[in-house]
Amino acid sequence: MNLFFNWLFTFRLGWGHRGLALSTGCVAVTNFLLLYALMRRHVSHMHTGLLVTMLAKVLLAGLALGAICWAGEHWLLGQWQVQATAPKAFELLATIAVAAAAFFASRGPAAH
């Protein structure tokens, strides 16, 4: 499966290194789902509701961080090739700071 997805996303669709990242993610999700299904056969109570809640939070945080990275790449870092070093550093640090703030905000209240 890994070899097929690598070939499909990287060479057939021409996505290069992005295709490798997507392939790795697809294989990891498939592996998790298969292992979870097999484990569920042997364990009576797996706390599936808690797992789904956690996965929903991870999905929302991932979407927020993806949107921030996309916006930073297209607006803040759009003139990267022609900018001087100081503006590059400031805009990159600003993007990282906004992404970090979104990450910590998406975590919700700390568990005790």
Can you give the pTM of this predicted structure? 0.62
Residue 109 has pLDDT above 80, yes or no: no
> In the predicted model, what is the mean pLDDT of residues 27-45?
90
Identify the pLDDT of residue 111: 52
Residue 112 has pLDDT above 50, yes or no: no
Higher per-residue pLDDT: 77 or 49: 49
Compute the mean pLDDT over every residue in the chain, rounded to the nearest whole number.
86
Identify the pLDDT of residue 3: 92
**Angle value at C-alpha 29, between 23 and 32, nearest 5 degrees:** 140
Query: Angle of helix 48-71 relative to helix 85-106, nearest 10 degrees?
Result: 160
